[in-house]
Structure 1
Amino acid sequence: MFRIVLGSLLVIVTMLAVPSVEKALFYLPLVFALSVSLPNLDKLKTSRPLGILLTLGQSYLVFLGLAIVIYFFDEWLIAISSEEITEYEGIIMITIGGYLAALLLFYFHSFLFKVNNLKFSFLAITTCYVLVVIVMLVFSKNDYLQFGVEKFPSFLISWCIFMSLAYSISLNKDVFLSKTKLKQG
């Protein structure tokens, strides 16, 4: 069970050790890739060094792709509405974007890691993503979703923590089910 939470703990410890949020955001894909790949080295389909490098590349590509898509979608919303984006449009855009990024990254990870049950993985990712949104809504009072607000990095860090947990649960399904005493349906 320690292996399942180890990735999330790595993200938390790294974020606490990095002195500034700006530096943390640049290294976030690196931290995320290592938090998923290092505790699950035995689940890689390729050699360990190649698997870690490919996981790292995938993380940076998805994070960069998400940033580009959100930027252009933000510009498109401003262009069609000729007003600033409202709080609710920001919430929807970031929530959907973060969830799609989690699913896309896991799709890419499924080529590198041994995934036993995609349905269970989808459920784990969805559940952990709901936890991201709930935590951010409770602790940030919706401000985290507004562009230009300093709380947006908190969303990204929270995303990395919970998605690392979701991916580890997905990759270690049998251990998770046996330790939590959940019956497989």
Structure 2
Amino acid sequence: MIRVLAGSVLVIVTILLVPSVEKALFFLPLIFALSVSLVNTDKFKLNKVLGIIISVVQSYLVFLGLGIVLYFFDEWIQNITNGGSSEVEGVALITLGGYLAALLLFYFYSYLFKEINSKFSFRVISVCNIAVIIVMLVFSKNEYLQFGVEKFPAYLISWCIFMSLAYSLSLNKELFNKKIKSK
């Protein structure tokens, strides 16, 4: 069970050690990729070092692609609504973007790691994405459903924490099942 939680704990500790949020956001794809790949090096289909490097590259590509897609999608929403988008649209955009990023990374990881159960992983990723949204709604200080620009770094950090947990659960399903059955 420690192996399942190790990735999320690694993300939390690393974020706490980084002195500023701006630096943390730049290194977030690296932190995320390392939190998943370092804990699960025995699950790689490839050489361990090559697997870690590919995991980091995939993570940066997905984060960059997500940023670009969300930027253009946000512009498209602004044009459709004549510049007056509501906060619900912003929440939907961020939620959908985070979910799509998680699924895209899972797709790439299915080629990189062995022994991934797609059905179980899809459920775990979905539950962890819902957990991210719940955390953001609970800890939102101003209005209900307000993410806003100042909340985006907190969203990304919580996304990395919960998604590293999701991927660790997906990669270590047998350990998780043993622990559940033993109780």
Q: Same fold (TM over 0.5)?
A: yes
Instruction: Determine the structure 1 residue equivalent to 2:45.
Output: 45
Q: Match of 2:12?
A: 12
Residue 163 (structure 1) aligns with: 163
1:68 counterpart residue number: 68
For 1:35, the equivalent position in structure 2 comes to 35
Instruction: Give me the TM-score of the superposition, normalised by structure 2.
Output: 0.95
Cα distance in 2 for partners of 1:150, 1:81 equals 23
Q: Offset of 1:113 from its aligned partner?
A: 0.3
Q: Which amino acid aligns with 2:46?
A: T
Per-residue CA shift, 1:14-46, capped at 9, x if unaligned? Answer: 000011100000000000000000000000000
Q: Which runs of 5+ in 1 are unaligned?
A: none
Question: Aligned ranges for residues 121-136 of structure 1 at < 5 Å?
Answer: 121-136=121-136
Residue identity matched to 2:25: L
Per-residue deviation, residues 122-177 of structure 1 (Å, max 9, x unmatched): 11111111111111111114322x2xx21110000000000000000000001001
1:82-130, Cα deviation, whole Å (9 max, x unpaired): 1232101001111111001000001001100013411011111111111
Give distance in 2, aligned partners of 1:143 and 1:133. 11
1:142 aligns with 2:145: yes
Q: Secondary structure at the match of 1:181?
A: helix
Distance in 2 of aligned mates of 1:162 and 1:65? 20
Q: Are residues 1:104 and 2:104 paired?
A: yes
- Tell me how many residue pairs correspond in the alignment: 180
**C-alpha separation between the residues in 1 aligned to 2:24 and 2:84?**
28
Query: Could you tell me how far apart the structure 2 residues matched to 1:139 and 1:115 are?
Result: 36
Q: Distance between the aligned counterparts of 1:9 and 1:3, measured in 2?
A: 10
In 2, distance between residues paired with 1:13 and 1:129? Answer: 21
Rounded to whole Å, the distance in 2 between the matches of 1:159 and 1:11 is 10
Query: Is the partner of 1:39 in helix, strand or coil?
Result: coil
Give the whole-Å Cα distance in 1 for the aligned partners of 2:42 and 2:79: 48
The whole-number CA distance in structure 2 between the counterparts of 1:80 and 1:65 is 22
Is residue 79 from structure 1 mapped to residue 82 from structure 2 by the alignment?
Answer: no
Question: Aligned pair 1:3/2:9, yes or no?
Answer: no
How much is the aligned-residue C-alpha RMSD, in angstroms? Answer: 1.3
Instruction: Provide runs of 4+ in structure 1 moved above 3 Å.
Output: none
Question: After alignment, is 100-109 or 133-142 more displaced?
Answer: 133-142
- How many angstroms apart in 1 are the aligned matches of 2:85 and 2:71? 12
Question: What is the SS of the residue equivalent to 1:143?
Answer: coil
Task: Note the residue ranges of structure 2 that are not aligned, 5 or more in a row.
Answer: none
SS across alignment from 1:178:
helix
